[in-house]
Amino acid sequence: MKETIGYPTALSYYSYYPFWNAFFTTLGFSVVISPASSKQIIDWGVKETVNDACIPIKLFHGHVMSLKDRVDYLFVPRMVSVDGKTTFCPKFLGLPDMVRWSIPDLPRLIDERIDLKKGARGLLSTCYKIGNFLKQNPARVFYAYLVAQWVHRQYQDNLNRGIFPNKILPSKETGRGLNSIETEIRIAVLGYPYEIYDSYISVNLLQKLNEMGVAVRTVEMLSNKVLGGYRHRLSKNLFWQYSNRVLWATYHYLEKKIDGIIHVSAFGCGPDAMLDKLMQLEAKKHDIPFMTLTLDEHTGEAGVVTRLEAFVDMVRFRRESS
Amino acid sequence: MRVTFPHMGTSHIAFKHLINNLGHEAIVPPAPSKRTLSLGVRHAPEFACIPFKILLGSYIEALENGAEMIISSGGVGPCRAGIYGLLHEEILKDLGYDFEMLIFEPPLRGLLDFIKKIGRVIRPTRVSWPTFIKVFKTSWQKLIILDETEILSHQIRPYEVIRGETTRAFKEALTLIDKAETRQELDSAGQAAEMLLRDVTQDRSRKPLRIGLIGEIYVVLEPFINLDIEKTLGEMGVETHRSIYLTDWTRDNTVFDGEKDIKNAAKPYLNQLIGGHGINSVGETVLYASNGFDGVIQLAPFTCIPEIVAKSILNRVSRDLNIPVLTLFLDEQTGTAGAQTRLEAFTDLLLQKRRNKGDLDATGIFGN
Ligand code: SF4
């Protein structure tokens, strides 16, 4: 029997699952992912975390709960930095410790620090460390690393081509024909991938917009190169990987004369408190409609639909009267 | 130029000295009040942490009082505090205020930038670099004396016989320190301050509870937000030890031997810097436990990320090392009454623990 590695489908899952899945399976492990977010998963998460945590962190704990009794290892990487400049939100930094000290009876954690200050070579050495922990021989690890790199590049290309992560990743239902409709209005839905593409927590927001005849634009559709071009816009960058990407995407879409921006924000998210205001002030300078949608475990579907409709109507009206 | 800066504990006394002696006019931000807070809350993002709101409010008040320049500090993250300045500036400009914002990043980040910014402050008044260094040193000295006086006040208060006497003496001491201009005056002000406090009538037979205070620096330092916790606890007969002072790195500390110690202590539970004082909160709790403290109170702004991470780990530390930890998340709604009840319940618990250990002399609330 192959040994199993549990992979919680939350947080960095949306950005890096294809890489790690390819890596582990090439090494001969079988990767078990947690089911799509659900009421049960949230309830677990709420029970296991301090109540001041944001919803994505609670969700992550819930996903760990759903996996912990049926896998040999649990993959909870410590995401520190992937570009050597910015870091992830402090909760990502402390994630393995939060999980370890709050949830009892865990399988062995693969909690290697992912800190790529030295560029891609840093990633290779992280892979060696994980390989070593899993008692794999280095040559095989190197091979698995190359495969994973290749898979990751494909994934990124697909995202940049406008395909939503949920259509590629295994855990989530695919939705239909998202974004294929040619419509007159384009709205950028900006936020962290683990909120936007988790259709449970985002109350299926992307699809709803699509059904209202909106062409959705997201952060993931922009290549690292395009985003990086905005690196020097502010006198000082934000500290956090995902927040910078959202802010840079905001600059980009505002320049490209988007019709409106919806910022999807997690209730109690620290970085978002700052980010949201910066986005709002920027949209104001460009005179583009802006709305913040704050999600938490109590967010009701009906309320969101009403707000979306009102926003879309307003955007459409502005568009027509200009 | 009329220059203002953040209000943090008693440090404004030293900053005022610095600014005025560089030939500017210090606009001392009014001590944070309900009004400050409500101004801040009105214009800050809802989920910004309370220090952000208070600072924003006090900048507005200072600008109303004629400030033309705001000096503040940056930071290296990943805690939000490092970008406070940037966002404060954006918000205040959007509100239509006309001012210059000078954000000092830690010198290690870019020495040149640091020097340039100091130049920005001293050039208009033609202060030479040597003079600047001299003035800076005196101000630093002032800051140290302020901290030392405050530490002493926390050590004396739980023994005071007449409630409030320490606080009165402390206020008097602050006035003395504020008036001192030169190094010599400062030295004697420091001595006088110490005497004033030592003169407080005390009952040294008490065995007060000892509580360590940990958490995010701004709320630990600013009594307006933390419900004046050191005074409140002191007057309940509890001795508090605060983990953070602005002048920390200059002082030999009986409990902590510096950052490295704290990080090592945290290591088994958290082996990663997470910004703010997150790792400190974990490490300091371990150290308080091994130094025989009765309990620890974590002070954190509501939504403060590093402190949330710390809290979720502290549950375990507290269990493992058998030291009770009370977390107070502070926001604009934290009512004094509610917090007071929680503090009383907490000290009761600690007293009970002591008595269970057979220490019948433990002094509790108001020494009974
Ligand atoms: S970035 Fe925000 S939502 Fe994400 S983990 Fe951090 S606090 Fe939570």
Which pLDDT score is estimated for B335?
63
Write down the pLDDT at residue A48. Answer: 85
Distance CA A156, CA A174 (A): 17
Using the structure block, give the residue that is written with the tokens 């509100």. Answer: B95
Q: Do residue A93 and residue B276 have CB atoms under 8 angstroms apart?
A: no
Instruction: Collapse the DSSP code of A254 into the 3-class scheme (helix H, G, I; strand E, B; otherwise coil) and give the result.
Output: helix
State the pLDDT confidence band at A285, using cuts at 50, 70 and 90. very high
Atom of ligand 1 nearest to the CA of A90: 6
Quote the mean pLDDT of chain A: 90
pLDDT in tens, A104-142: 999 999 999 888 877 667 889 999 999 999 999 999 999
What letter does residue B366 receive in the DSSP assignment?
Answer: G
Residue A50 is nearest to which of B44, B87, B312, comparing CB atoms? B312
Containing A189, the helix (H) or strand (E) segment is: strand A185-190
What backbone torsions phi and psi does residue B291 show, to the nearest 5 degrees?
-95, 15
Helix (H, G, I), strand (E, B) or coil at B314: helix
CB A311 within 8 A of CB A208: no
Q: What is the DSSP letter of A262?
A: E
Nearest CA among B301, B145, B293 for reference residue B213: B293
Task: Label residue A219 by pLDDT band (50, 70, 90).
Answer: very high
How wide is the angle at C-alpha B127 spanned by C-alphas B123 and B128, nearest 5°?
105
Label residue B125 by pLDDT band (50, 70, 90): confident
pLDDT exceeds 60 at position A182:
no
Task: Answer for the pair A188, A260: CB distance below 8 angstroms, yes or no.
Answer: yes
Query: What was the pLDDT predicted at B252?
Result: 54
Quote the pLDDT of residue A315: 93
Q: Looking at the predicted structure, is the pLDDT value of residue B29 above 80?
A: yes
Distance CA(A283)–CA(A251), nearest Å, equals 9
pLDDT tens sequence across B308-324:
989 989 999 999 999 99
pLDDT of res. B254: 56
Residues 162-181 of A with CB under 8 A from B: none
Cβ separation B303–A78 shorter than 8 A: no
Is 0.90 surpassed by the pTM of this model? no
Interface of A with B in 266-305 (CB under 8 A): 267-274, 276-278, 281, 284
A87 closest CA partner among B278, B90, B91, B246: B278
* Mean local confidence (pLDDT), B146-171: 92
CA distance B175 to chain A (A): 38
Residue B364 predicted with pLDDT over 80? no
Tokens 């330092």 -> residue: B221
Which ligand 1 atom is the nearest neighbour of the CA of A53?
8
Residue B349 burial (C-beta neighbours within 10 Å; 0-12, 13-18, 19+): middle
Q: Is A266 in the pocket of ligand 1 (CB under 6 A)?
A: yes
Please report the DSSP string for B74-142 in residue order: ---SSSGGGGHHHHHHHHHHHTT---EEEEE--GGG-HHHHHHHHHHHHTTTT--HHHHHHHHHHHHHH
Check pocket membership of A269 for ligand 1, CB cut-off 6 A.
yes
DSSP string, A77-113: -EEEESSSS-B--HHHHTHHHHHHHHSSS--EEE--E
Q: Are strands A4-7 and B69-73 parallel, antiparallel or unpaired?
A: unpaired
Residues contacting B134, CB < 8 A, separation 6+: none
Give me the pLDDT at residue A62, please. Answer: 96
The pLDDT of residue A249 is 97
Complex ipTM value:
0.80
What tokens does A126 get? 């992280």
CA A231 from centroid of its chain's CA atoms: 20
Q: Compute the average pLDDT of residues A260-264.
A: 97
Which residue did the predictor score with more confidence, B222 or A17? A17
State yes or no: pLDDT of A183 exceeds 70.
no
CA–CA–CA angle A104, A12, B78 (5° rounding)? 90
**Does residue B365 have a pLDDT over 50?**
no
Where are the extended beta strands (E) located within chain B?
Answer: 2-4, 25-26, 69-73, 100-104, 207-215, 238-242, 295-301, 325-330, 362-363
DSSP class per residue in B228-259:
THHHHHHHTTEEEEES--TTGGGS--SS---H
| Helices B183-198, B129-156: inter-axial angle, 10-degree rounding | 0
Percent of chain B with pLDDT over 90: 45
Q: Dump pLDDT digits (tens) for B252-300.
A: 555 666 677 888 889 899 988 887 788 889 999 999 999 889 999 999 9
How does residue A174 score in pLDDT terms, banded at 50, 70 and 90? very low
CB contact under 8 A, B49 and A273: yes
Nearest alpha carbon to residue B65 among B24, B10, B8, B27: B27
Token reading at A137: 């021989």
State residue A72 phi and psi, 5-degree precision.
-85, -35
How confident is the model at residue B366, as a pLDDT? 41
Residue of A nearest to B328 (CA): A52
To the nearest whole number, what is the mean pLDDT of chain B? 86
| Alpha-carbon gap, residue A102 to B199, rounded angstroms | 49
Query: Which amino acid residue places its CA nearest to atom 1 of ligand 1?
Result: A89
- What does the pLDDT average to over B127-136? 87
> Residue B77 C-alpha to ligand 1 middle, in angstroms?
15
Residue B14, amino acid: A
Structure tokens at A292: 């913040």
- Residue B367 scores a pLDDT above 50: no
Phi, psi of B235 (to 5 degrees): -75, -15
Mean pLDDT, range A196-216, rounded to an integer = 90
Residue A222: helix, strand or coil by DSSP? coil
